[in-house]
A and B are shown apart, each in its own frame.
Chain A
Amino acid sequence: MTSPTPIPPGRTPLSALFLGFLNIGAMSFGGGLAAWIRRETVQRRGWLDDRQFLAGYALSQIIPGATNVNLAVFIGTQLRGAVGALAAVAGLMVVPMALIVAAGALYAAARSGPAGPWIARVLAGMGAAAIGLNLATGIRLGRTNLRTPVGIGIAAVTAIGVGLLRVPLLYALATMIPLSILLAWTGRRA
């Protein structure tokens, strides 16, 4: 085991940080953003090693909010502090935001025109596949992260309660998070 080489703060230029995340933002069509972030920051640019990346990714999932935006904040902060976080998030968001604004405007203009029904069907089909991406991501996360019946049970109750029975998120989280952490704690001691 070699210990990771600490990267001195201030070494990575802000412009490189911005451009690296611009690249990630521009390429990650259809999701899989975390894989793109790892490819760019670990494999291509060597800003951090895999262990640092995985720690940052776990943290980004625990912190509320969009996981991959949190990960950009984490990596940007590690390399260049608060300004680095801003550069990384700005780089990550600028291309997708421009594309979404353009797509939204086209959609609003075209939906009431003659092509409207066709556009609605294309988007319905993409939406149906995107729902599959959500479900598949949940299945993949479950396969790698849930190893106990208790964990699987907590995940199932959360999925059914929020997804099918429409329990408001605030109540679901206020109940399930303390319960799950308590079970993880007692399970660890057992």
Chain B
Amino acid sequence: MISTLLQLAALFGLLSVLAVGGGAGVIPDMQRAAVDVHHWMSAPEFLDMFAISRAAPGPGSLIVLLVGQRAAGPAGAAVAVIAMFIPSSLLAWVAARFWHGAGEASWRRTVERGLAPIAVGLTIASGLALIRGTESGWAAYAVTGAATLLLAVTDLHPFALLIAGAAVVLVFG
């Protein structure tokens, strides 16, 4: 129990400071750790948790609450949430305090430009890893393809597509 809590704290504390470009980028590493390394759950269970955390409002990174709960109960959920959000929030707080003093320094704009493609790549990687690791059947692939296209080119509310995706896989999956 204690060792599982320590594993959760170490895993999410590390992912917290590695999650450049948002929480979605560390989903593949989270999945590998939770499923393949620590065997807290199966790959389909992880996708279910991903779906619940995406269907709920708020930050998608709250998936860590479900992973922690599955691994070690309520204490695990608390440890996972604290480990995932406190380190990065402290960094954000420090950065916010110094932001206005930094002005439009040229090094800052260079760093911004360098990080932007990494963030884009990681966001796409998280989708690719989830397709590769958890999906099967033409209905699921079709839903992912259609949702990608519609959300990329239209202003449809994402929740409408979650409902439509559930209906399609329920009927045809």
Residues of A within 8 A of B (CB): 25-33, 55-56, 58-70, 73-74, 77-78, 82, 85, 89, 92-93, 95-97, 99-101, 103-104, 107, 111, 118, 120-142, 145-146, 150-164, 166, 168-170, 173, 176-177, 180-185, 187-188
Contact = CB atoms under 8 A, between A and B. Distances in A.
Contacts of A135: 123-124, 127-128, 144, 148, 152
The 6 A-B residue pairs whose C-beta atoms are closest, nearest first, are A65-B88, A132-B147, A96-B58, A158-B121, A125-B169, A163-B128
A142 B120 contact: yes
B62 A96 contact: yes
Contacts, number: 385
B145 A30 contact: no
A6 to B, nearest CB: 9
B75 to A, nearest CB: 13
B168 A125 contact: yes
B123 A107 contact: no
Interface in B92-135: 92-93, 95-97, 99, 106, 110-132, 134-135
B37 to A, nearest CB: 11
B109 to A, nearest CB: 8
B85 A89 contact: yes
A30 B145 CA distance: 17
Contacts of A61: 21-22, 115, 119
B127 A134 contact: yes
Nearest to B48: A123
A158 B125 contact: yes
Chain B at the A interface: mostly helix, strand, loop or mixed? Answer: helix
Please indicate which of the listed interface residues B18, B132, B152 has the most CB atoms of chain A within 10 Å of its own CB: B152
Contact of B170 (A58, A104, A121, A132): A121
15 contacts: A29-B57, A29-B157, A31-B158, A56-B96, A85-B93, A125-B140, A127-B47, A137-B151, A142-B124, A154-B118, A163-B28, A163-B127, A180-B118, A187-B113, A188-B106
A170 B20 CA distance: 11
B9 interface: no
B51 A126 contact: yes
B81 interface: yes
A110 to B, nearest CB: 11
Given A96-B58, A125-B166, A63 B91 contact: yes
Given A65-B19, A67-B21, A131-B147, A177 B114 contact: yes
Contacts of A78: 96
B104 to A, nearest CB: 10
Given A66-B61, A162-B129, A170-B18, A132 B52 contact: no
B19 A66 contact: yes
A173 to B, nearest CB: 6
B65 A176 contact: no
Contacts of B127: 131-132, 134-135, 138, 163
A103 B117 contact: no
Given A65-B23, A124-B140, A163-B128, 18 more contacts: A28-B58, A32-B157, A33-B58, A61-B119, A62-B111, A64-B18, A65-B16, A68-B59, A69-B61, A97-B65, A127-B47, A128-B169, A132-B151, A135-B124, A145-B120, A146-B120, A163-B129, A183-B114
A30 B49 CA distance: 14
B162 interface: yes
